[in-house]
Structure 1
Amino acid sequence: MLPQRDKKSPIAYSCYFTRSREGEQFVPEHRFSYQVAGTMTTNDGSREYAFNEGDFRFSRRNHLMKFLKFPPEGGAFKSLSVSLDQQTLRNFSIEFGCKAEKHVNGEAILRLKHDPLYKCFMDSLQPYLQIEQEGNEDLVANKQKEAILLLLKVNPELQDVLFDFSEPGKIDLEAFMNKNFHFNVELNRFAYLTGRSLATFKRDFEKLFSTTPGRWLQHRRLQEAHYLIKEKGKAPSDVYMDVGFEDLSHFSFAFKKLYGLAPSRI
């Protein structure tokens, strides 16, 4: 099981005046979002999506995704979202008798069709951004319930996604890691998404790769960075975060240690 997070309001507002990247690139719960201003691009390791002002999207839980947020010229990036956690959805399922009929392996993020009901709902969230979460749990829970009702009315096919409460099963570790090594997440996220406890993940990993996950991840990320810099002509400052490093100086130090040259000298 993943560690418990601090309780946060499920209603979130993002505002950035410069280009921004998310930190941890894991989506733990379903999320219904509205792009108020600016552009957001996302990448799930297989494909890239772009969402512009006025677009609605639905992000599926238990997926790895990278986010890039671009403010409009002379303005700010703004987005509104509502997180739909598993307990809220289970309560809704019991109250309304909703259940998934089948497991859907679809895309990590879905572009929702425009509907005036969605816009009215997102506009109604503005006052909730000013209130404290503590003491107003029932009010916030009602907005989550309203979001679920709207999603089911406008996109009824989402029922099989919203009420699928299954957890990730054990999958091919080698294929998963080679596809997702560039996501900057903690090892327990990788373990969870491959259907393993952290201890089992480490044990299986070392049997498969003959090294620890930490060493393998750093080496694989540096290999990819070397390829992007040498073969694709990319600058180190444009590469280090794309391959999973948080800090340019740490990336440069590790790169030089492995290849004998600073990345800027390649």
Structure 2
Amino acid sequence: MELQEVKPYKAGIVYACYHSRSRDGEHFVPEHVFSYQVDGSLTLHDGIKDYPSSKGAFRFIRRNQLLKFVKQPPEHGDFKSLSIYLDQQTLQDFSLLYNIHASPSLQKQTVFNINKTPILENYMQSLLAYDGAGYLKDPAMVKLKIHEGILLLLQVNPAFKDILFDFSEPHKIDLEAFMNRNYHFNVNLERFAYLTGRSLATFKRDFEKVFSTSPRKWLQQKRLQQAYYLLTEKGKTSSDIYLDLGFEDLTHFSHAFKKEYGYSPKNIHR
């Protein structure tokens, strides 16, 4: 069983420590995240590309993203990370305070690696020290340190301005391309609709026009088709793939596969 300690703060600073390997999982990332890998490794996958990080790495994760993750502690040690969550209200207040505004940008990258610098390391170490001393229980101190983090992000990459201070919601995007990229994420239809810039009703209507079937039926069939390929052509097992393909548990996957193909997936390798 995974043992963990998570210390969240209302203004958005989270320290996490995991004593054993986390099973592969997935997140919807609703807010921008500025993170520091204190120890261990974390690999993210956005549906197209893997983003690995190891001890001492810094990165910025864009909001409104679906990401799969694997957290791995070091040998005989703990997985540790420090994350600053930059919610929209904090960024709007910062924008007004410093008169900083976004310019139109076509930048769609989801995860940004940030070069390590002594200044960034000192900043993260100060957060760890303040946490250990209990100073981050003070909302005023938390707000100050988050503002410091935003200013540092703008120093290391001025282009972050056009991402941090873009307060628009997702625009209506290419539904077919998005679904073919993200079908394996186990999220509800409301989330898919939001991320494609649509209401749920519009999402269902547009989906029917594009795919000539309902979203639920298409998702099930698409996941099972990929499962069949991985099992028959790549030699994978059910336990290897069911989570990666968006199935909640192994029993659900096996039942759905047998209903679709007429036999259990475990019979493929016999």
TM-score (norm 2): 0.88
> Which residue does 2:44 correspond to in 1?
42
Alignment of structure 1 residues 102-181 onto 2, 5 Å:
102-126=104-128, 127-128=130-131, 136-181=138-183
8 Å contact from structure 1 (residues 25, 185) kept in 2:
no
Which of 245, 248, 261 in structure 2 is aligned with 1:246? 248
> Which residue does 1:218 correspond to in 2?
220
CA distance in 1, matches of 2:250, 2:77: 28
* TM superposition shift of 1:239: 0.6
- Structure 2, unmatched stretches of 5+, are 1-8
* TM superposition shift of 1:130: 8.0
* TM superposition shift of 1:175: 1.8
CA distance in 1, matches of 2:222, 2:132: 42
CA distance in 1, matches of 2:17, 2:29: 19
Aligned residue type for 1:52:
S
Aligned residue type for 1:239:
I
Deviates further, 205-214 or 233-242: 205-214
Structure scoring higher RCO (CA < 8 A, sep ≥ 6) equals: 1
- Structure 1, unmatched stretches of 5+, are 1-6
* TM superposition shift of 1:210: 3.4
> Which residue does 1:187 correspond to in 2?
189
> Which residue does 1:4 correspond to in 2?
none
8 Å contact from structure 2 (residues 43, 50) kept in 1:
yes
Residues 265/78 of structure 1: CA separation in 2 closer, same or farther (3 Å cut): same
Residues 240/256 of structure 1: CA separation in 2 closer, same or farther (3 Å cut): same
Residues 193/236 of structure 1: CA separation in 2 closer, same or farther (3 Å cut): same
Aligned residue type for 1:70:
Q
* TM superposition shift of 1:246: 2.2
> Which residue does 2:236 correspond to in 1?
234
Aligned residue type for 1:247:
D
Deviates further, 55-64 or 212-221: 212-221
CA distance in 2, matches of 1:265, 1:8: 50
Which of 90, 95, 100 in structure 2 is aligned with 1:88? 90
- Give % identity: 57
* TM superposition shift of 1:14: 2.1
> Which residue does 2:4 correspond to in 1?
none
